[in-house]
Amino acid sequence: MRFIDEFRDGQLARGLAAAIRQAAHADRDYSFMEFCGGHTHAIARYGVSDLLPPAVRLIHGPGCPVCVLPIGRIDMAIRLALDAGVTLCSYGDPMRVPASAGLSLIKAKAKLGRDKETTTTAGSAPACGEIRMIYSPADALALAQRHPERQVVFLAIGFETTTPPTALLIKQAQAFGLSNFSVLCCHVLTPSAMASILESPEVRRWGTLPLDGFIGPAHVSTIIGTRPYEFFAEEYRKPVVIAGFEPLDVMQAILMLIKQVNAGQALVENEFSRAVSRDGNRKAQQLVADVFELRRSFAWRGLGELPYSALRIRKEFADFDAERRFGVGYHTVADHPACECGAVLRGVKRPQDCRIFASVCTPENPVGSCMVSSEGACAAHYSFGRFADVAAVRTTSTASTASTADQRAVAR
Per-residue pLDDT tens for 258-305? 999 999 999 999 999 999 999 999 999 999 999 999 999 999 987 788
| Predicted structure pTM score | 0.88
Pick the residue with more confidence: 199 or 177? 177
Q: Where are the domains of the chain?
A: 1-351
Decide if 73 contacts 330 (C-beta within 8 A): yes
Q: Is the pLDDT score of 29 beyond 90?
A: yes
pLDDT value of residue 109 = 95
CB-based burial, 44-70: b 16+ in 10 Å, e otherwise:
bebebeebbeebbbbbbbbbbbbbbbb
Angle, CA 305 vertex, CA 91 and CA 162 arms, to 5°: 30
pLDDT value of residue 385 = 86
Q: Does domain 1-351 have CATH number 3.40.50.11750?
A: yes
pLDDT value of residue 402 = 46
